Structure 1
Amino acid sequence: MTVRLRAHHLLCMLTYVGRGYSPAFTANYDRVLERLAAGEEIELVTGPDDICAPLLDDPGAHCRLDRIRDRDEAAALAVGALLGRAIPPGERLVPTPVLVARLRAAFRDGTIRAACAGCEWSELCTAVAAADFAGARLDRSTDRVLRFGPSAPRCP
């Protein structure tokens, strides 16, 4: 199986610390990270993805808005430029610790943050990045296996 992610969620997963739109959303987000930790690949999709799932019962969910699709396009361009190749919908990525470290370094220095402009979570993500991603649920491992951080503290 694969984890279906929209492009801007490649950025969000770097700084996710257990906060979200609802308890159902954060529980689902944690499950998605556990799937990545279990070795599932990421498949880039257009529109709502596995992280958005708990919000989709609401016909007005923000994940369907044009500005969010624009955020996806900006993220895909930035991450693609970093990787030196296009990452269109359907592209698959393996979230190795090397890739996560590279994305985090570019996120921290602002190289891939164009998609974050106007996002309500931007300040939180900036603070997490400035703290070297302390508390982020996506854990870095030295054994080349991406792990979900079970000891990552929950934010209030």
Structure 2
Amino acid sequence: MSVALRAHHLLCVLTYVGRGYSEAFVANYDALARRIIAGEPIRLVAGPDDICAPLLAPTASAPAHCRQPSVVERDAAARHEVAALLGRALAVGDTFTLDADTLSRLRDGFRANEIRTACVDCQWSALCTRVADTGYRDVRIVTAPTAESPAT
């Protein structure tokens, strides 16, 4: 099994502190965070992913923004910047484990504003900035398994 993530959610997992759109969203995200920490591979997808799932459910209270063109643009920006930071290509379908070194490099780049283009105009951006500025205190993904390179 793998955790399906769209590219801009690679940034979101860096600062996730247990807040979200609804209780169901947070419960789902917490479960995904535990899977990532346990070493389950991440599979890069286009469009709605495992994090989006509660927003797409028939009982979701607000219309999902997951398919909006602006979100697709966020994915493209995130994929490009994360690939440049890590020095390797990232394409839809790639799978990889978010190991401790990669997590640290991504958080350093996020905090230095090197991979934040996808965050422009995001409603969560201020929270994510505060989380990064406090050294990622209280994040739910605090450690990761051993290194494994993305499959290409």
- Give the match for residue 86 of structure 1: 89
Unpaired runs of at least 5, structure 2:
148-152
Counterparts of 2:93 and 2:44, CA distance in 1: 5
Q: Which runs of 4+ in 1 moved over 3 A?
A: none
Compute the TM-score of the two structures, normalised by the length of structure 1. 0.88
Pick from 104, 107, 110 the counterpart of residue 110 of structure 2.
107
- Give the match for residue 29 of structure 1: 29
Shift of 1:56: 0.6
Q: Deviations over 1:76-121 (max 9, x none)?
A: 0000101112211001121001110000000000000111000000
Counterparts of 1:47 and 1:3, CA distance in 2: 14
Unpaired runs of at least 5, structure 1:
146-156
Compute the TM-score of the two structures, normalised by the length of structure 2. 0.90
- Give the match for residue 122 of structure 2: 119
Number of aligned residue pairs: give it.
Answer: 144
Q: Deviations over 1:20-60 (max 9, x none)?
A: 00000000000001111222100000000001110112593
Equivalent positions of 1:1-156 (< 5 A) are 1-57=1-57, 60-140=63-143, 144=146
Matched to 1:96, the amino acid is D
Matched to 2:78, the amino acid is A
Q: Is the 8 A contact 1:101 1:140 kept in 2?
A: no
Counterpart secondary structure, 2:32: helix
Name the % identity: 53
Counterpart secondary structure, 2:66: helix
